[in-house]
Structure 1
Amino acid sequence: MDDKKVAIAIVIGNDESFYGFSFRDRYKSDPLNIITRNWYRPSASTAFPTCVLFTKNKLFHSFGYESKDKYLELSENKEHIDWYFFDRFLSCFTLEERPLSKSTNVTAIDGKEMLAIDVILAMIKGIKDQAIKQLESKECQISETEIQWVLSISASWHEDVRWFWKTATKAGIVDEQFRIVSEEEAAIWYYKHIPIERLVSGGSGPDINEFSTGSKYIVLNCKEEAVFLATFEVNYDTSLKELYKTSEKKGGGSQFDRAYEQLLTEIVGAPVMEKFARRYPEEYAILYEEFHFKCLTIGNEVHRKITIRIPIGLVEVFERETNKSIQETINNSKFSSKVRWHDDKCRFSRELFQGLFKVPSSEIIALVNNVIEKPEIKGTKNIILIGKFAECTILQTMIEQALPEMKVIIPHEAKLVSLIGAVIYGHEHRNEIEPKYATSRVEKFIGKFKKRPVVHAKKETFFF
């Protein structure tokens, strides 16, 4: 019975999360067109921070930007001591591979603990209620029984699928209306639906192959905490199976952050950096927000210097602690020809800035090279980059240059690929009695694809 009129997908990442949906009738004509919410903080974005706030009695208060604002207000009034604020709380599981159980705890930013199931349950329920509220604002006649829910999680979580399933049911989502798909698998569902006219090839490049039997795809999920890799193969009946996924957690955006902080620390000194972080925690966070923005918007101009806004508090702390001008200090250092600092603007040479990406990029490339040598992966020529940091032009270029024999596929707005793919997955699996989730066991098959026409192109890298 085809009774699901809307598919709503939720993606919960360590640093940021999303939700989006599409109606069944619109999906049929344009599967990539989904509705999201724009959070105008600090600028228009479909993402919101993965954080949750609880009262002193451990009652859910809010999530996302609302929870951040409330906790800041409480902190300014010295009323935050007994509250529970969880921010980026998933990294302890994705990086340390701690198993999830009903007794697993997560740690708030001040060291207090709560059960992980209660924190993630609150997150899912908060997003669910917000999505339904947005759906109702469209004045469409949709009952909750007509919604297909999809939770997209990294393939590294596959052993904890049952745990997430139970958590979702506690949030009020009925089993029959719930599906789980890995972010990496969702990326291929997205790629399957890209129309030919939306590919930008720019000259000549390799063939864009159909999902024919034996076609293999590596998905690199470039997230904040790490880069996750999964490899899929199209089976003889056009179903998809997962061949391999990595357990190594390397090359994430946090490594770019550490390289950037090490550079600034080398310029201003460790004592100054530590005092700045303690005295101006908000500006310290902005320091990385500005860096992320530059990473994702920088172009390929070889000779252009890179200008980044630096919170003025760092300059003030430096001059107060050293009684020196920061630019004079730079002029007398090894950075004299590479860095110019004026008030809240710092200009780096392109060479110096690109150097921040060298170590994490080399780890990603080594990871791919190691995987493609495995017998079951040999012959794979397609890499799909997804995730927030897949949008970084410097990272893209380094991967392309190091892997010239590979076809690097880069979606526009790569961080939204898993969300859109999960919505598509929800529509195409809405009536399955026993939904399938990709695991590392190759005998487990996932989703069926219709064949798509062969299209010929020649450029090594293409965007869609």
Structure 2
Amino acid sequence: VYEITNRLSKAPNEYANASNYEATSVSTNSDHGLYERLAVGGHYEEIRNLRIRQDLFVVALDIGTSSSGYAISSYDSYKRDPLQISTFSWKSRTDGFQHFKTLSAVLLNPSGELHSIGYDAEYHYINSLQEEERQQWFYFQNFKMMLYNHQISRDLILHDVKGKPQKALKIFAFIIQGLREDFTTRLAEQITLGEGAVDEDIHWVITVPAIWDEKAKQFMREAARQAGILNDRLSIALEPEAAALYCRFLPVEKLKGSSQDEEISQLKTFSPGAQYLIVDLGGGTVDITAHEILPNGALKEIVAASGGNWGSLVINDEFINLIEDLTETDIMKFIKENHPDDFLTFMSVFENKKRVFSKDDDRVILHVPQSIRDIMCERLGKSVEDHIEEIDRAQEVKFQRDKMYIYNEAFTKLLSGTIEKIVLHVTAVIESNKLKVDSIVLVGGFAECDLLKSTFRTSFPDTRILVPEDPVLAVLKGAVLCGRNPQILQTRVCRYTYGICTTVDFDEKYYTPDKKIHIGGNTLARDIFNIHIKANETVHIGQKGTPKKYYLNRDDQDQLDLEIYASTKTKPKYTTEDGVFYLGILVIKIPQMAAVCNKSRYFSVSFLLDGTEMEVEAVDSATNETTGVKFDFIG
């Protein structure tokens, strides 16, 4: 029995906005029975004061640093069981295994056109292209972190594994396009009657890390638009929130208590008033958020989302450092540039080993491609085995024919540095916010690591450490639930202070002389951070902030451009001070009115958080009507 069953049981007169619809059955080959095409008047129905999105399908796309995939829920299936979410396996022709997700990889032909994504892209690049052909093709992998480490714009450039450039927006659009086309192809194969799903039947959800800012969210939205997804058919889900919602819906028997390696009793997952922490352990980033269960079953965010670039790919860098420490500096860079196929194969093997490594394993065995062994021997001037003996590192590693053996202590060291940083940050979040969490829930691919779970158990002995039975899919399935339940999170804690750059009357008591300017006979202070939302402020979703006035300058003015800034500080004074960063332009279109003097005309601007994205409302003083606004955060 799922925890939300009672809320979703349909009783007479309980659906305020779904009293009449027609359903025509469409046969499928799905394990979940019939899909239904619902002709409904609106996209939402009210179920006990929480909006449920009615679209025929909700499809979530999880674009991860290491892997990507999608999941789907039909409306009828959701009403029967919210956790009836379909995911799809992906076969890697490189290792021969089925995977929950495909690689976050994109392959372009020499003309810069999309050839393939995921495991197909990897296989074609490694096995079908000759080395001289690879110089002309473009292969991108693990590129998501570029949106975390760089200034985002439409012109941001990514470099492929051989250093060749392409626009980042194009690459992200291509992987979204590839996932979208794969989904529509599989759906068409399942539906045997009728014309199948159309754009109006599908609501799409794309996941992003909670620590990304508004620029990155708009970037992903623009990439989705270029991939053929309509803007009004798309919502953005924050990864740890999606995972939290998935775990919130799970009965406890689906959560493993890693402290005892056994299933917890048949109690419901969390009761009203309970607080829990979600740690999303992705490939690129680690995201942390904390929620409290409200009496109506909805969620309240109690701490602003935080995290950092401590994802499991950092451990890959540690592995590369180990290889180069044992052999020669930059040897892996040389291998990557000259033998990218073997480099990718070698790193793929390590990627799988680090997830399944147990603290009780004596050693980890990796297959070493022949080209890598040959390069090592050539650079060292001797066999790798002899070299390891000479430098007295045989107690850590051993090379024998096509195998590399890494012993327990050395492999543990590769992982422990990153794990310790994660634990330290979680500890800081709990202590600095005086949280009394009942549970810490670990999700993401790295949550499968036994060493990580045991470290959390030791570090937080009085807190339940829980892991869903499919942690790698928690974000993906949770994103589907976010799409169906746009109101499930009712309050959010802001990560940043948001405001608009403006000028005010100069007062020497408050403003420094360098901010003094003279305009039209007036003495003003420039670069003032006019605060609309404060960092660490609890905001109700959909609730407008206090409006603030922004005046026009000229009678012929046809638009008002306002610069939006953000800061980690709660009370920034100037937009030029440390800790403040520029987000983008807010453009307000001004309806022209012959009888109105623009110099006395202003717009009352209010900020609000609608779900995971910021929105702005502008009310024209001349008409008292809301006018159109447009963000441009990515240039």
TM range (shorter): 0.7 to 0.9
Question: Residue 407 and residue 313 in structure 1: after superposition, are their counterparts in 2 closer, same or farther (change >3 A)?
Answer: same
Moved more, 270-279 or 133-142: 270-279
Say if 1:7 and 1:147, in contact at 8 Å, map to a contact too.
Answer: yes
Question: Residue 384 and residue 323 in structure 1: after superposition, are their counterparts in 2 closer, same or farther (change >3 A)?
Answer: same
Using the alignment, how far apart are the partners of 1:151 and 1:132 within structure 2? 16
- Select the residue among 83, 86, 92 that pairs with 1:35: 86
Question: Residue 185 and residue 169 in structure 1: after superposition, are their counterparts in 2 closer, same or farther (change >3 A)?
Answer: same
- Select the residue among 147, 150, 171 that pairs with 1:119: 171
Question: Residue 422 and residue 436 in structure 1: after superposition, are their counterparts in 2 closer, same or farther (change >3 A)?
Answer: farther
How big is the shift at 1:131? 0.5
Question: Residue 277 and residue 101 in structure 1: after superposition, are their counterparts in 2 closer, same or farther (change >3 A)?
Answer: closer
Moved more, 211-220 or 69-78: 69-78
1:242 paired with 2:293, answer no
* Structure with bigger RCO (C-alpha 8 Å, 6+ apart): 1
1:182 paired with 2:238, answer yes
Indicate the SS of the match to 2:539: coil
The CA RMSD over aligned residues, in Å, is 3.3
Using the alignment, how far apart are the partners of 1:56 and 1:91 within structure 2? 25
Indicate the SS of the match to 2:181: helix
Q: What amino acid does structure 1 have at the position aligned with 2:246?
A: Y
Say if 1:340 and 1:348, in contact at 8 Å, map to a contact too.
Answer: yes
Indicate the SS of the match to 1:270: coil
Q: What amino acid does structure 2 have at the position aligned with 1:387?
A: G
| Runs of 4+ more than 6 Å apart | 203-209, 434-438
Using the alignment, how far apart are the partners of 1:198 and 1:306 within structure 2? 30
Q: Which residue does the alignment assign to 2:319?
A: 260
1:294 paired with 2:353, answer yes
Q: What amino acid does structure 2 have at the position aligned with 1:127?
A: L
Using the alignment, how far apart are the partners of 1:305 and 1:52 within structure 2? 34
Say if 2:328 and 2:379, in contact at 8 Å, map to a contact too.
Answer: no
Say if 1:386 and 1:411, in contact at 8 Å, map to a contact too.
Answer: yes
Question: Residue 179 and residue 360 in structure 1: after superposition, are their counterparts in 2 closer, same or farther (change >3 A)?
Answer: same
Using the alignment, how far apart are the partners of 2:479 and 2:100 within structure 1? 15
- Per-residue CA deviations over 1:4-23 (Å, capped at 9, x if unaligned) read 22221100012221112133
Q: Which residue does the alignment assign to 1:455?
A: none
Say if 2:156 and 2:168, in contact at 8 Å, map to a contact too.
Answer: yes
Q: What amino acid does structure 2 have at the position aligned with 1:87?
A: Q
| Bigger fraction of residues in helix | 1
Question: Residue 137 and residue 266 in structure 1: after superposition, are their counterparts in 2 closer, same or farther (change >3 A)?
Answer: same
Q: Which residue does the alignment assign to 1:305?
A: 363
Using the alignment, how far apart are the partners of 1:321 and 1:53 within structure 2? 31
How big is the shift at 1:385? 1.2
Number of equivalenced pairs = 440
Q: Which residue does the alignment assign to 1:48?
A: 102
How big is the shift at 1:83? 4.6
1:413 paired with 2:467, answer no
Larger Rg: 2
Question: Residue 437 and residue 423 in structure 1: after superposition, are their counterparts in 2 closer, same or farther (change >3 A)?
Answer: farther
- Per-residue CA deviations over 1:117-152 (Å, capped at 9, x if unaligned) read 333223222211211111111125442222222112
- Select the residue among 516, 534, 538 that pairs with 1:442: 538
Q: Which residue does the alignment assign to 2:69?
A: 18
Question: Residue 330 and residue 54 in structure 1: after superposition, are their counterparts in 2 closer, same or farther (change >3 A)?
Answer: closer
Say if 1:232 and 1:242, in contact at 8 Å, map to a contact too.
Answer: yes
Question: Residue 259 and residue 120 in structure 1: after superposition, are their counterparts in 2 closer, same or farther (change >3 A)?
Answer: closer
Indicate the SS of the match to 2:432: coil
For structure 1, the residue ranges without an aligned partner over 5 or more in a row are: 448-464
Say if 2:255 and 2:467, in contact at 8 Å, map to a contact too.
Answer: no
TM-score, normalising length: structure 2: 0.62
| Bigger fraction of residues in strand | 2
How big is the shift at 1:184? 0.6
1:390 paired with 2:447, answer yes
Q: Which residue does the alignment assign to 1:352?
A: 410
Moved more, 202-211 or 279-288: 202-211
- Per-residue CA deviations over 1:237-288 (Å, capped at 9, x if unaligned) read 4432333345552422122112222222233333655554444322222222
How big is the shift at 1:402? 1.8
Using the alignment, how far apart are the partners of 2:375 and 2:79 within structure 1? 57
Indicate the SS of the match to 2:342: helix
Question: Residue 421 and residue 258 in structure 1: after superposition, are their counterparts in 2 closer, same or farther (change >3 A)?
Answer: same
1:361 paired with 2:419, answer yes
Say if 2:380 and 2:387, in contact at 8 Å, map to a contact too.
Answer: no
Q: Which residue does the alignment assign to 1:218?
A: 277
Question: Residue 66 and residue 435 in structure 1: after superposition, are their counterparts in 2 closer, same or farther (change >3 A)?
Answer: farther
- Per-residue CA deviations over 1:38-65 (Å, capped at 9, x if unaligned) read 2211321132222333445544443223
How big is the shift at 1:327? 2.6
Using the alignment, how far apart are the partners of 1:426 and 1:319 within structure 2? 54
Question: Residue 436 and residue 244 in structure 1: after superposition, are their counterparts in 2 closer, same or farther (change >3 A)?
Answer: closer
- Select the residue among 127, 132, 156 that pairs with 2:184: 132
Q: Which residue does the alignment assign to 2:10?
A: none
Question: Residue 197 and residue 331 in structure 1: after superposition, are their counterparts in 2 closer, same or farther (change >3 A)?
Answer: same
Q: Which residue does the alignment assign to 2:340?
A: 281
Q: What amino acid does structure 2 have at the position aligned with 1:20?
A: A
